[in-house]
Amino acid sequence: MADVSNGTIEFSVNQGEPTRVPPADETEKGLYYLSNLDQNIAVIIRTIYFFKSESKGNEDAVEVVKNGLSKILVYHYPLAGRLTISSEGKLIVDCTGEGAVFVEAEANCRLEEMGDITKPDPITLGKLVYEIPGAQNLLEIPLVVIQVTKFKCGGFSIGMSMNHCMLDGIAAMEFVNGWGEVARGLPLKIPPFIDRSILKARNPPMIEFSHHEFDEIEDISNTSKLYEEEEMLYKSFLFDPDKLGQLKEQATEDGVLSKCTTFEVLAGFVWRARCQALNLLPEQQTKFLFAVDGRPRFIPPLPEGYAGNGIVLTNSIATAGELVEKPLSFAVGLIQQAVKLATDSYMRSAIDYFELTRARPSLAGTVLLTTWSKLPFHTIDFGWGEPISSGPVALPEKPVLLFLPHQKDKKNINMLLGLPASAMNTFEELMQI
């Protein structure tokens, strides 16, 4: 059978001309404030959602998705504006109401000929998300770009490119779920809470913690050379409840920790394995950076439907020697401490720290973990049922690790990362538990 995945036919997508989809009703105009938690993660995140229904084809898909988009933008009107720089030199949105960029496209194959669509692949999946030609910087890229691609089998995909400064993972999932609801003529389950000024810095700002997430770490192991000279390999590893249970036993067997969560044990295990795989020198410092959902941790908690970034970065720093030589409980314990660090006062201190320093977290000597494993991808429905697959097109940066929900079994976690080829071989061996 002709198959894109084994190269017998070349996968091609015919993209139409981009148009704008403005909000269906008149919306507020003017400048819209972005908080300090939004400022630091202005990267483009590309995600893709595949749909296929046994009972209906894709003839109406473009119209339904497009109409739904114009309706959801009435609620999320800042997404219909454009990014600009405020008088203070920060990112801010000019609510122009010009709308999202929308592209209709057709693929030259059936969905089942695509091979493994659950695995991020910038070459193949990248064709399903429209890129703005000639954009020189973030200000020239629209806040939301949507491509609907029809496949020959009656299935279709929605490729979405969005600036992370607008919505974090939780808010983005509420946006896409809500978009599906209004596309089906239903009321919004969670209307967005739009006012981000509740996360304004204090006046005067108060830095009450040392914020090591901004520390610049020296690469004494010369790993950057590996990254430059070798091919980057991207692989995903599946952790089912059995494997996760084994890891938890391993992390608690020496009695140092009485218990640990799935997130903590997996993060500690992967941090340690990555140090071994990259052959880091024992005295090499390594930073583990990850986002914690601040919504329930702020006092008072952020309102339901908070449409912005409610996540705060927390971190652990240790030497590679300590991580590798000590039992797993050591790495997992460090992750637990970092999770506990994310209190209301720590998060407000981080907001104030940015106000005074405008510092960006450094990714030198760092692993950055993003967790999507709890995000409700499976509830998205535009009228064709839940997605048969959904996830990122690619990893945004080299040192990024991603925990994704498994498509079929929500108790399983897919862990995805990229490493230079020689390190990936060692890492794969270390994953055999």
The residues that bridge with 51 in the sheet, in sequence order, are 156
Bridging pattern class, strands 400-405 and 366-371: parallel
Amino acid at 269: F
Strand ranges inside 97-201, DSSP E: 100-107, 144-150, 156-163
The residues that bridge with 336 in the sheet, in sequence order, are none
In the residue annotation, 212 being an active-site residue is answered as: no
Residue 377 CA to residue 386 CA, distance in Å, equals 8
Residue 126 CA to residue 48 CA, distance in Å, equals 9
Residue 59 CA to residue 67 CA, distance in Å, equals 14
Q: Which of 3, 121, 219, 381 is catalytic?
A: 381
The tokens for 170 are: 């939780």
The residues that bridge with 287 in the sheet, in sequence order, are 317, 366
Within 13 A of 385's CA, how many CA atoms are on the CB side?
11
3-class state of residue 85 by DSSP: strand
Amino acid at 212: H
Q: Which of 38, 164, 211, 352 is catalytic?
A: 164
- Render 317-386 in DSSP notation, one character per residue: EEEHHHHHHS-HHHHHHHHHHHHHH--HHHHHHHHHHHHHH------TTEEEEEE-TTS-GGG--SSS-S
- Tallying the residues shown for the chain, one arrives at 433
In the residue annotation, 406 being an active-site residue is answered as: no
Catalytic site positions: 164, 381
